[in-house]
Structures are given as structure tokens and as C-alpha cells.
Chain A
């Protein structure tokens, strides 16, 4: 029973919950992206905790963290590109107003 591991995983759980609340409750695309950033950061915390307390000799744990960090950056870049295009064509990035494809 590794106490630090469980404590760190709980912190990751807390970050995930806050990020999920934000991603689901916000109407603006930029705020939704911030919620997703918090969810990915929670995943990173869990990954580093597992690496540190269970398998510190296997560097593939840190590799996974590097890949997730890179994905975070790239996803933000593409998300902001889409936000710019949408803002240019419609004048706002509010998701409540994005009803064109709604059945």
C-alpha cells in the first residue's frame, strides 16, 4: 500500500473532475479547451506517479508523458486555428450558437 501513490492519484482525480466540469459546462470554445487541458494534465500526473512509484527504471513512462505533452500543445494549436476560422466567419466562438448542423 503505497500512500504517496494513492495520494497523487487522488490529486489527479481531483484535477480530472475539475477539468470535466469545465469542459462540459462552458459555452465558449476557448474555455472548453482549457477544461480539456486540465483533463490531460490530470492524466500526466497519474502517468508520472505510476512511473515514479512502480517502474522508475522503465523510461517508457517518461516517453509517454512527453508524447502527451506534445499532443496537448498540438491540440491547442489546431483548436485555436479552428476558433480563428469560426470567429472570422460568424463573429463569435460561442458553442451555444453553433447550431448549423443540429438536426
Chain B
């Protein structure tokens, strides 16, 4: 029963994320836009490239969706309301999200087209920039919780949320999460205007609907991860736990989707330099600081 409630909540969450993204892109808030565009996509003709690598072309949206669903499976909405409470939940989230990279490489190589291929390899380049910035803040969070399980990480924030305890890690993780979901300003793979749609360019019809759904699920998983690791999960007064989780996830998603569009797209070389020369030393300093504070202060 709880699994059904969980899946329903996650479906509605993904739908609202699509609504918010439509609001951010088009400027007008419309509750029915995702449903109408999904119906339109299902009805449209599926155009195929001329000599695609069929295996990769078909498998990429499905793998993207599977990666997103596996990542969502370890996010706790309330104590006990979690699909799979693994003992290494935080690391499993990272492992599932690494398959976003594999899926986008497949989507880039599959259609045998220039724009898609450039988009796919650009995503690999930007992933190398922030791969460490996803894992190292998780390390600092797990240090405080003394466990890798996502429920333990949330319960460890009962006194003080991690966003106040580890602000540096929070900022790095949010930026890396925006890059992993290829949100602007880090939307190098599909670069609207630069690559004419990039990896999404050759997908039409049902496959494009699956690709967009998968992207919403990934954004949901990343918002859930940010809320679980840094914003205290289900903790909060008056309302029940799952309501707090949902509210926090929607707020985080709105911030991620709307503020990024104000900044111009980051160039790949600048992103790599910033990620490795600035980001990794900051992440290591974050781990060091958290270690020192955890030994000295009793939180």
C-alpha cells in the first residue's frame, strides 16, 4: 500500500516538475501543458534517422528512465515511506545517476548525426567536471550521519539541517545537480540555439516523450537528493512528514529551474577549469571542515 502511495506521489511530483519547467521556459503558468504535449507527442509521427545505431537509439531513453527510477527508489519521503532502504543508499543514488551519462552517450552516438554526437560528447566533458562535486559533498554528509543510508542521513539532521552545517557542500552539490540534469546554464548536451537540440534533436514522437519523462524523473531524483542530504528531508513542525518532503522538493526544483536561466551558458573549457581548479579544492576543504567540526562540537 505504501509503495502505491509512494509511486503516486512521485508521479505527481514529476508532473509538477514538468509544469514548473514549462513555466520557466514559456513564461506562462499552465497546469495542463505537460499532459497536452505528451498526448501530442504520442500522436506524432516517429521520424527515424537514416542509418542509426538502432540498439543505442532505442535504448537511450529507456536507460535514462531506468536510471531516474532507480535513483528515486532510495529517496525517503517519510520514515518508512521509501521504495528500497539500502544500507548504502547515498552511494546507490550516485551510481544510478552515473547511468545518465551512459544513456546520453548512447543518445549522442545512436542517431548517427552531427548535432547529437557533439551533444553527447559534450555531456561527457561536463560530467567529468562535476563528477567529483557530486560525491564529495555526499561524503561530508555521510560523515555527519555516520551512515550511508538515506533515512539515517535525514534523522541525523534533527538538530540542525545540513544546509547550515555544510553550506559549501550544499552550494557545490546544487551546482553539480544542475549539471547532471543538464539544466541551464549547464545545458551543453541539448544546447537550444547552439546545437539545435543536441541529443534530443533526432528523437520524435513516443521516444521523445520517454526522454522528457526520464528527464523529469531525474530532476525529481536530484531535488529529492538535495532535500534529503541538506534540507532535512521530512523534518518540520505541524505538517506530516511526506508533506514537508514534497513542499521542499517543489521549492528546490523551482529554484533550480528558474534561476539557472538568468545566466548565460557556461563554456565547456571554463566549466572544466572551474570544476577541477576551484570545485575540488573547495569540496576537499568542506570535508576537512566538517571533520574538524564533527570532532570538536557535539552536533
Direct contact of A and B (CB under 8 A): no
